[in-house]
């Protein structure tokens, strides 16, 4: 049975500001006892995609940064590049522009922002993993220099994993492009010779020179390719093919493999997971490859949860969202998940199963679905 600590979203005075409550939550979850006074702390968050409006607000991250500093430790706000190199968060530079637009900067956060996998998402190390599906994962080399991860997650829905919480913020949010690629695709791209018109755009675009021309057709070396998708985005005739995974359970297992491999490398006891059940959208930022959007939240603000157990904190988050009434006019309301207790995630995403993901998270050894919810007042 794992402890999940909770502060609710209600504030009646400055003493009950959610900023103060977040500090109290980190206290009660034991953060002062689990990070060392000189530890380098990776404060992991997601800074939103262009045109989304419901990402985690920067002042919560600032509060966590200041809290870590008070403990004498050294915080850095960390993220990784998005999967597609040509997408709006595809390089470190582009992601930092989005971050700035959304109010995330060294000045607002009080700490440096580090896009851990480097400008192109190439600065990664390969780590072996005996997972359900993946045999190895790529981890940003700079992440390996940190002593602790403070995993700050805006909890929300997701088309494939059904929910997007602490597990996904690690298993997708902290890994390199190559692993992100193999979470979404079965194989690296290959050239459909019949379609290729020899324009050479892919050769010019590939950052690792994995493609060259032979007899007027593109030839791709999959051993050099790291799955940045740039050639697939640029090709005017869609001649670069790979098999997109459409089975949600297959994607869920791959996310779990990546999460397990990463936490095994960093240390399972080197993470505190903080889930923000505020402005809970049914869509995830990462589902927007180009330009995004945010919908009405599906339930009223609930509060903030914290746990050392990454499975318990996500299970408690799902339970609390399902226990809440749907906001009239929201997507949850429209699909009929109106009353407290209705399984909103199941009704929003009937083709996928959140319980399958959590059961397998337990099986691989990430944590426990059994939890005690400790409400802090
Ligand atoms: S971009 Fe497409 S059409 Fe052009 S050379 Fe590459 S594979 Fe062929
Ligand atoms: S060949 Fe691979 S590395 Fe090169 S652009 Fe295509 S996906 Fe990216």
Splitting the chain (377 residues) into consecutive groups of 10 residues, what average pLDDT does each group show?
A: 96 92 96 92 94 91 97 97 94 97 97 98 96 97 97 93 95 97 96 97 98 97 97 97 95 98 96 97 71 86 98 98 95 92 93 96 97 95
Q: Which ligand is nearest to the CA of 234?
A: 1
- Tell me, what's the pLDDT at 277? 98
For ligand 1, whether the C-beta of 198 sits within 6 Å is: yes
Instruction: Say if residue 164 is in the same domain as residue 274.
Output: yes
Instruction: Say if residue 290 is in the same domain as residue 348.
Output: yes
The residue whose C-alpha atom lies closest to atom 6 belonging to ligand 1 is: 202
Instruction: Say if residue 143 is in the same domain as residue 274.
Output: yes
Which residue among 86, 193, 195, 201 is best mutated to probe the pocket of ligand 1, counting the most ligand atoms within 8 A of its Cβ?
201
The residue whose C-alpha atom lies closest to atom 8 belonging to ligand 2 is: 228
Residue list, ligand 2 pocket, CB within 6 Å: 189, 205-206, 208, 210-211, 220, 225-231
Instruction: Say if residue 84 is in the same domain as residue 196.
Output: no
The residue whose C-alpha atom lies closest to atom 1 belonging to ligand 1 is: 235
Instruction: Say if residue 146 is in the same domain as residue 29.
Output: yes
- Tell me, what's the pLDDT at 134? 97
> The CATH number of the domain where 284 resides is what?
3.40.50.11440
- Tell me, what's the pLDDT at 291? 67
Q: How remote is the CA of residue 242 from the centroid of ligand 1, in Å? A: 14
Instruction: Say if residue 223 is in the same domain as residue 319.
Output: no
Contact 190, 166 (CB under 8 A): no
Instruction: Say if residue 303 is in the same domain as residue 167.
Output: yes
Question: What does pTM read for this prediction?
Answer: 0.96
- Tell me, what's the pLDDT at 294? 83
- Tell me, what's the pLDDT at 287? 64
- Tell me, what's the pLDDT at 155? 96
- Tell me, what's the pLDDT at 237? 98
Instruction: Say if residue 179 is in the same domain as residue 199.
Output: no
Q: How remote is the CA of residue 198 from the centroid of ligand 1, in Å? A: 5
Contact 368, 311 (CB under 8 A): yes
Domain boundary among 205, 226, 241: 241
Which atom belonging to ligand 1 lies closest to the Cα atom of 191?
7
For ligand 1, whether the C-beta of 192 sits within 6 Å is: no
Instruction: Say if residue 228 is in the same domain as residue 314.
Output: no
Which atom belonging to ligand 2 lies closest to the Cα atom of 221?
1
- Count up the domains in the chain and report the number: 2
Nearest to 201 by CA among 225, 177, 232: 232
- Tell me, what's the pLDDT at 73? 97
Q: How remote is the CA of residue 177 from the centroid of ligand 1, in Å? A: 22
Which residue among 86, 191, 220 is best mutated to probe the pocket of ligand 1, counting the most ligand atoms within 8 A of its Cβ?
191
Contact 80, 124 (CB under 8 A): no
Distance in angstroms (rounded) separating the CA atoms of residues 191 and 198:
11
Instruction: Say if residue 166 is in the same domain as residue 55.
Output: yes
Distance in angstroms (rounded) separating the CA atoms of residues 276 and 5:
12
Instruction: Say if residue 132 is in the same domain as residue 169.
Output: yes
> The CATH number of the domain where 204 resides is what?
3.30.70.20
Instruction: Say if residue 170 is in the same domain as residue 100.
Output: yes
Domain boundary among 223, 241, 259: 241
Which atom belonging to ligand 1 lies closest to the Cα atom of 238?
2
Domain hosting 235: range is 187-241
Which residue among 179, 181, 185, 210 is best mutated to probe the pocket of ligand 2, counting the most ligand atoms within 8 A of its Cβ?
210
Domain boundary among 224, 241, 258: 241
């Amino acid at each position: 049975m794992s402890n999940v600590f909770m502060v609710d979203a209600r504030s009646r005075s400055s003493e009950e500001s959610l900023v103060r409550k977040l500090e109290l939550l980190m206290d009660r979850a034991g953060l002062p006892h689990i990070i060392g006074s000189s530890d380098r702390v990776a404060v992991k968050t997601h800074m939103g995609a262009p045109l989304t409006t419901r990402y985690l607000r920067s002042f919560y991250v600032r509060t966590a940064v200041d809290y870590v500093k008070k403990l004498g430790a050294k915080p850095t706000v960390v993220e990784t590049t998005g999967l597609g190199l040509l997408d709006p968060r595809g390089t470190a530079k582009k992601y930092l522009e989005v971050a700035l637009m959304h109010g995330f900067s060294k000045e607002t956060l009080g700490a440096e922002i580090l896009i851990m996998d480097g400008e192109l998402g190439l600065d990664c190390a390969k780590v072996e993993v005996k997972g359900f599906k993946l045999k190895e994962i790529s981890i940003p080399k700079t992440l390996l220099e940190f002593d602790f991860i403070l995993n700050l997650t805006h909890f929300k829905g997701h088309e494939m994993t059904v929910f997007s919480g602490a597990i996904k913020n690690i298993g997708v949010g902290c890994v390199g492009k190559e692993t992100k690629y193999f979470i979404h695709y079965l194989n690296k791209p290959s050239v459909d010779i019949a379609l290729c018109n020899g324009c050479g755009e892919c050769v010019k675009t590939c950052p690792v020179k994995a493609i060259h021309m032979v007899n007027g057709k593109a030839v791709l070396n999959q051993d050099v390719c790291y799955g940045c998708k740039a050639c697939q985005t640029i090709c005017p005739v869609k001649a670069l093919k790979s098999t997109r995974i459409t089975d949600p359970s297959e994607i869920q297992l791959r996310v779990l493999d990546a999460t397990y491999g990463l936490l095994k490398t960093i240390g399972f006891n080197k993470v505190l997971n903080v889930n923000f059940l505020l402005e809970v959208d049914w869509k995830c930022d990462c589902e927007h490859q180009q330009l995004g959007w945010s919908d009405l939240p599906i339930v009223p603000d609930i509060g903030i949860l914290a746990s050392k157990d990454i499975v318990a904190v996500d299970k408690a988050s799902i339970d609390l969202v399902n226990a809440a009434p749907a906001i009239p006019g929201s997507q949850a309301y429209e699909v009929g998940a109106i009353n407290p207790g209705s399984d909103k995630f199941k009704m929003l995403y009937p083709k996928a199963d959140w319980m399958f993901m959590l059961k397998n998270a337990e099986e691989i050894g990430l944590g426990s679905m059994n939890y005690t919810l400790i409400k802090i007042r």
